[in-house]
Every structure is written in structure tokens, then in C-alpha cells.
């Protein structure tokens, strides 16, 4: 597989990075003070991976509690804290850093740049995000406060007012929640500004906007969305802090404030956030599927415009989370239709991926397995999404396990699957070793099995009336067996993830040497050594088409003749 004799011109540097080993402290210092986009990217990814394990562990505790009726494994208070922490962790401490980490590592390499536009702001963004995570988890200790009330936040991850007001949420746990999201939000906005400036201003010669790899394009869209979605959340959190610290009345219904305003502000952030997380997953599929189908991506311009379309439309769908708060018919109709509309560009993407695979010489290596499963699962998640976006159906199933099953289908079935695929695809570039393919297959199939046991069956208790956020339930409602199997599925996913972590460590020490271009891919990051030197490219590359490495490998039939 490893091919170290690339037909690459002198423009691209192949010398392996000189490996300097200092003392342990020097090593730590080199990471803490780094402004190299690759090291920062790896720190983001490592940080996200740690919180993936933490959040996953919390999920498994929740599922153990729900496996059988009348269980006493967790107390109701602890259950509330754990599902709040699970949700907050997975969205803000796992999802966002993972998304930004891959962007940090890949975007400069793919557009032929030596670093991000603002390397020091990049480091600052990471450490802000890291501080946010530490603050949230410090609440387990610090949230007790002087009154001795509360521990970790227990207000759910959407934290509806007025539950978060001083009167109902004593102690400091909610403050830690709000402050940690403000702090990590600043980090995220900084990262988004940086990614936008990098993609627009740092492209190498010949890399016009419409020759950029789709991953870079999608990250440009995502960063634009972050600017207009994370900021409203930051604003709402500032209002919450004003209420809690300064005695303000934004969400205080006793003084004329309206809790529903919080719901609007939260979902103005909350729904586009789903697309902020899922578009990077699409971005990974955009890179993996063509390379493993041995075909150029089908419909590049359509893919770009569909992504931009999703970005724009997704800003107008937020209140489909709120059909039950009692909106007017016109409002209901608007949000039903706008939500339906967002399915159109998404459908275009799915057809384009299928058309890319169609007639290709598909190699089912682990990255491709994950991305193929993603296609099917994301389609299914989209279908239940259309069901839930229909107001009457939503009135019936709001806050039921059907909703939980639906959004976990998106978050796990699409996002986590694609990012696992991304790990297997780019680990050789980042570390220089291949991830073990045998362990990868075990990881994939076990995770696939666990995922479907868990989240397919979770729809049914929802249809049967099981509400979300309950710590236990009565036997004999037809939920018992289903819940037990769902919990087993959760544990199987946990085992699969453990195999993945073992694979990461095992392959670091014992993995096969990757070489610069193990997958015979076409984008610029594969033109550097693995891992790339600190300066990425010895001289600035020049590109003529969307697949610069194809042009170099096939000078007799380059892409730029057709584009």
C-alpha cells in the first residue's frame, strides 16, 4: 500500500521531519507553546477524543439505569446531571473541537498553505476551548458552592428558562455551565474567523475557489455558520449571566420576562449547530468516497452550492424544535416548510455521493466502510427528521424517545461514523503509521451492530409514549425488552470504541509505515511526508485542477484538460 515513490516534482518536500527528542519537559513545552496548525489540530482532536470517552461513559451509565424498569443504579439527581453533562460534553467538548481539529490540521495542507492565517490566535482559540471544558468539569467539585446545593449542572443541555434562574437553580453549577459555554464559544468563533481568513487568503498559486478540495469549501461554509450561530448562544448566555449575577429579568417571568425568548435564542443557535457538526462529516465523506471509488467527485459545483444552500436554509428552521410552545398557524407552516426545504440540498448531496460510487472501483477499506454506513444512516435520519418536522406528528412525539433516536441517528450515525472514517483515512498522514485494518474492521462491524441495536430500536419506545429525560419507568408498558436491547447496543458501541482506542495506541507503536500517500489520493496533503514537516511545503505548490496529485501522477491525462 505504502508508496514512497510519488511522481512529485521538486516543488514538494519529501524529507522526513528531523525528529528531535528532548527531555520530557521540553516535549510538553513544545506542545503547550506551539502555534503550528498541525500540532494544534492534533491537540483539538486529542481533546475531543478524551471527551468522547467521557461523554460515552456518561451515556453508558444512563443506559444502565434505563436497562430495566424501577432501577436504582443512579439517583434521579445524578441522572439529571449525567444527561446534562452528556449532552453538553458531546456537543461542545467533543463535537466542536473534533470539527475544528480536523479543519486545523487539513485545511492549510489541502490549500497548499504553510499555516493558518493567524497562528497565535489559533493557539489562543484552542486554549480557550480547553479552558471551557475544564470549567464545565470542575463544576463536579466547584458547583457545590457556599450554600452546599447542587453539583454538576442538571438543567439539561438546552437549559430552558426559568429553570436556570437563581430561584430554581441554586449553587454555582449553572454558572459553570453558562461560563464554560461562553469561554469555549469565544474559542470557536476565533477558530471560525481563522478558517475563513485562511481559506480566502492563503490559497497556493492556481488554487482558485472552484479548485479547492470540497473539504475546504465545506469548512468555509461551516465557519460562516459558526459566526452567526455560536454568537447568538454567547449573547443568550450573557443574558443568563446578567439574570443570575446582576438580578436582571431577561427570562424572569415574575418581572415580565419571557422564558420562550430563551427557547428561541437557544434554538437559533441549536439547529444550525447540527449543520455545523454535520457539514464537516459531509466534508470527510467528500474526500473519502471519491478516493475509495477511484473516481472524481460527481457534481462538484452542485456539492458546493448544496452546502452553501444548507448553510443558508438551516438558519431559518430553528422553531421546529418548538412546535409545542404554541405558535400561530402561519409560524408553524413556515417552519414546517423551511425544514422540508433543507432536505432538498441534502438530497442532492446524497445523490452525488451515490453517483460518485456508481461504476467506481470501490475499495472497502475501513474509512470507506464508515462512509458507506453513513450514507444509509443519514438517509434514515433525514426521513425521521421529515416526520418530526411535520407539526402534528411533532405534537404527538415531542420530547419522546423518538426524538432522541432521531437526533442520535444524525449525531452518531452520520457525524461519529464519518469522523471515525476520517480517523482511519488521515491517521496515516498525522502519525505516519497505518491504523490496523483488522482491528478497524472489528471496530466498524461492532460499532455498526451496536449502533443499530441501540438507535433503531430506540424509536419504538418513543412511538409507544416513552418520554425523554426520565430516570426510570414502570414495568409492563411494552418498553422493557426494547430498553434492555437498546442498553446492550450502547454497551456494544462502548466496546467498539475501546477497540478503536486500542487501535490508535497499538498502531502508534506497531503500525505499518504509511509513507506519504498510502491511499493513492489526489489532494495536496498527500504530497507531503507523513507526518508533514512543520513548514508543510518546502516551496509553494502550484495547482492546475481540483486533483493536483492526479495531474502529477498522470501527466498524460491531467484533469485540467477537462475542467
Partner 1 sequence: MSSTAIPLGHHKEWVLPYHGTVAMLALIVAETAIFSIFVVAYIYYIGKSISGPQPRDVLELPIFNTVCLLSSSFTIWLAEHSLKKGAMGAFRLWWALTVVLGSIFLGGTGLEWNKLIYHDGLTISTNLFGTTYYSLVGLHASHVIIGLTMLSLVLIFSLAGKLKSEHAKQLGVLSLYWHFVDGVWVVVFTVVYIIGR
Q: Which is nearer to partner 1, 109 or 268 (CB)?
A: 268
Q: Which is nearer to partner 1, 186 or 424 (CB)?
A: 186
**Cα–Cα distance, 96 to 44 (Å, whole number):** 9
Q: Which is nearer to partner 1, 77 or 557 (CB)?
A: 557
Q: Which is nearer to partner 1, 239 or 453 (CB)?
A: 239
Min CB(205)–partner 1 separation in Å: 5
- The three cell numbers of residue 288 are 473519502
**Cα–Cα distance, 133 to 44 (Å, whole number):** 12
Min CB(541)–partner 1 separation in Å: 9
Instruction: Quickly count helices (H) and strands (E) in the chain.
Output: 17, 0
Min CB(261)–partner 1 separation in Å: 6
Min CB(539)–partner 1 separation in Å: 9
CA distances from 436 to 111, 117, 364, 494, 507 (A): 29, 35, 14, 19, 6
Kindly report the number of other CB atoms within 10 A of residue 431's CB atom: 17
Kindly report the number of other CB atoms within 10 A of residue 350's CB atom: 18
Nearest to 167 by CA among 261, 76, 257, 267: 257
By the 10 Å C-beta count (0-12 exposed, 13-18 middle, 19+ buried), 126 is classed as: buried
Q: Which is nearer to partner 1, 196 or 289 (CB)?
A: 196
Min CB(196)–partner 1 separation in Å: 5
CA distances from 52 to 132, 366, 420, 497, 547 (A): 15, 20, 12, 9, 33
Q: Which is nearer to partner 1, 131 or 228 (CB)?
A: 228
Nearest to 464 by CA among 480, 477, 481: 477
Decide: helix, strand or coil at residue 466. Answer: coil
**Cα–Cα distance, 535 to 109 (Å, whole number):** 10
Min CB(258)–partner 1 separation in Å: 7
Residue ranges that bind partner 1, judged by CB under 8 A: 7-11, 117-118, 189, 192-194, 196-198, 200-203, 205-206, 223-224, 227-232, 234-236, 238-239, 242-243, 246-250, 255-258, 261, 265, 268, 542-544, 548, 551-552, 555
Q: Which is nearer to partner 1, 112 or 531 (CB)?
A: 112
Min CB(389)–partner 1 separation in Å: 24
**Cα–Cα distance, 350 to 456 (Å, whole number):** 21
Min CB(5)–partner 1 separation in Å: 13
Q: Which is nearer to partner 1, 110 or 230 (CB)?
A: 230
Residues 18-54 as b/e (b if ≥16 CB within 10 A, e otherwise) read eeeeeeeeeeeeeeeebbbbbbbbbbbbebbbebbeb
- The three cell numbers of residue 496 are 467498539
Q: Which is nearer to partner 1, 232 or 413 (CB)?
A: 232
Q: Which is nearer to partner 1, 256 or 326 (CB)?
A: 256
Min CB(342)–partner 1 separation in Å: 20
CA distances from 515 to 3, 81, 221, 290, 531 (A): 6, 46, 32, 20, 9
Q: Which is nearer to partner 1, 268 or 336 (CB)?
A: 268
Min CB(415)–partner 1 separation in Å: 23
CA distances from 277 to 95, 226, 281, 461 (A): 7, 10, 7, 27
Q: Which is nearer to partner 1, 72 or 254 (CB)?
A: 254
DSSP conformation letters of 153-198: --S-SS--TTTTSTTTS-SSHHHHHHHHHHHHHHHHHHHHHHHHHH
Q: Which residues neighbour 193 within 8 Å (Cβ) at sequence distance 6 or greater?
A: 118, 121, 223, 227
Min CB(552)–partner 1 separation in Å: 6
Residues constituting the chain? 563
Min CB(187)–partner 1 separation in Å: 13
Min CB(336)–partner 1 separation in Å: 23
Decide: helix, strand or coil at residue 67. Answer: coil
Kindly report the number of other CB atoms within 10 A of residue 555's CB atom: 8
Q: Which is nearer to partner 1, 272 or 422 (CB)?
A: 272
Amino acid at each position: 500500500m505504502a508508496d514512497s515513490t510519488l511522481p512529485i516534482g521538486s516543488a514538494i518536500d519529501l524529507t522526513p521531519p528531523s525528529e528531535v527528542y528532548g527531555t520530557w519537559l521540553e516535549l510538553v513545552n513544545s506542545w503547550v507553546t506551539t502555534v503550528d496548525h498541525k500540532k494544534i489540530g492534533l491537540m483539538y482532536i486529542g481533546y475531543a477524543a478524551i471527551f468522547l470517552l467521557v461523554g460515552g461513559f456518561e451515556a453508558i451509565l444512563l443506559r444502565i439505569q434505563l436497562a430495566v424498569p424501577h432501577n436504582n443504579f443512579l439517583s434521579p439527581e445524578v441522572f439529571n446531571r449525567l444527561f446534562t453533562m452528556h449532552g453538553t460534553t458531546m456537543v461542545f467538548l467533543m463535537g466542536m473541537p473534533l470539527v475544528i481539529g480536523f479543519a486545523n490540521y487539513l485545511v492549510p495542507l489541502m490549500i497548499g498553505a504553510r499555516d493558518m492565517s493567524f497562528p497565535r490566535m489559533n493557539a489562543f482559540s484552542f486554549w480557550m476551548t480547553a479552558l471551557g471544558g475544564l470549567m464545565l468539569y470542575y463544576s463536579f467539585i466547584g458547583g457545590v458552592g457556599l450554600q452546599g446545593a447542587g453539583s454538576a449542572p442538571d438543567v439539561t443541555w438546552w437549559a430552558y428558562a426559568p429553570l436556570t434562574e437563581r430561584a430554581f437553580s441554586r449553587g454555582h453549577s449553572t454558572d459553570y455551565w453558562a461560563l464554560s459555554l461562553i469561554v469555549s464559544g469565544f474559542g470557536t468563533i476565533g477558530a471560525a474567523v481563522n478558517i475563513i481568513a485562511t481559506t480566502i487568503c492563503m490559497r497556493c498559486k492556481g488554487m482558485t475557489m472552484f479548485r479547492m478540495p470540497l473539504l475546504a469549501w465545506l469548512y468555509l461554509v461551516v465557519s460562516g455558520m459558526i459566526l452567526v450561530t455560536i454568537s447568538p448562544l454567547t449573547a443568550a448566555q450573557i443574558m443568563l449571566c446578567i439574570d443570575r449575577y446582576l438580578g436582571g429579568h431577561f427570562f424572569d417571568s415574575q418581572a415580565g420576562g419571557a422564558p420562550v425568548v430563551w427557547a428561541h435564542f437557544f434554538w437559533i443557535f441549536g439547529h444550525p449547530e447540527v449543520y455545523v457538526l454535520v457539514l464537516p462529516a459531509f466534508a470527510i465523506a467528500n474526500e473519502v468516497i471519491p478516493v475509495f471509488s477511484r473516481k472524481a467527485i460527481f457534481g462538484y459545483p452542485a456539492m458546493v452550492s448544496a452546502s452553501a444552500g444548507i448553510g443558508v436554509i438551516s438558519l431559518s428552521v430553528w422553531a421546529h424544535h418548538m412546535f409545542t410552545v404554541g405558535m400561530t398557524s402561519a409560524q408553524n407552516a413556515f417552519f414546517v416548510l423551511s425544514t422540508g426545504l433543507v432536505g432538498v440540498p441534502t438530497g442532492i448531496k446524497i445523490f452525488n455521493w451515490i453517483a460518485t460510487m456508481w461504476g467506481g472501483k470501490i475499495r472497502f477499506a475501513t474509512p470507506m466502510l464508515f462512509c458507506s454506513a453513513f450514507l444509509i444512516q443519514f438517509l434514515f435520519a433525514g426521513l425521521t427528521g421529515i416526520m418530526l418536522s411535520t407539526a402534528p406528528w411533532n405534537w404527538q412525539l415531542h420530547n419522546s424517545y423518538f426524538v432522541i433516536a432521531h437526533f442520535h441517528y444524525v449525531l452518531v450515525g452520520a457525524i461519529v461514523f464519518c469522523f471515525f472514517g476520517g480517523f482511519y483515512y488521515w491517521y496515516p498522514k498525522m502519525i505516519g503509521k497505518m491504523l490496523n485494518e483488522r482491528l478497524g474492521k472489528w471496530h466498524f462491524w461492532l460499532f455498526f451492530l451496536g449502533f443499530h441495536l441501540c438507535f433503531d430500536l430506540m424509536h419504538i419506545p418513543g412511538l409507544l409514549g416513552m418520554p425523554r429525560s426520565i430516570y426510570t419507568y414502570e414495568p409492563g408498558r411494552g418498553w422493557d425488552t426494547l430498553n434492555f436491547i437498546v442498553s446492550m447496543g450502547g454497551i456494544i458501541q462502548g466496546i467498539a470504541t475501546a477497540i478503536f482506542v486500542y487501535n490508535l495506541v497499538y498502531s502508534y507503536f506497531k503500525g505499518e509505515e504509511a509513507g506519504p500517500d498510502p491511499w493513492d489520493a489526489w489532494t495536496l496533503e498527500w504530497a507531503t511526508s507523513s507526518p508533514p514537516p512543520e513548514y508543510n511545503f518546502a516551496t509553494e505548490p502550484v495547482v492546475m485542477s481540483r486533483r493536483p496529485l492526479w495531474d502529477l501522477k498522470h501527466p498524460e491525462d491531467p484533469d485540467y484538460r477537462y475542467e
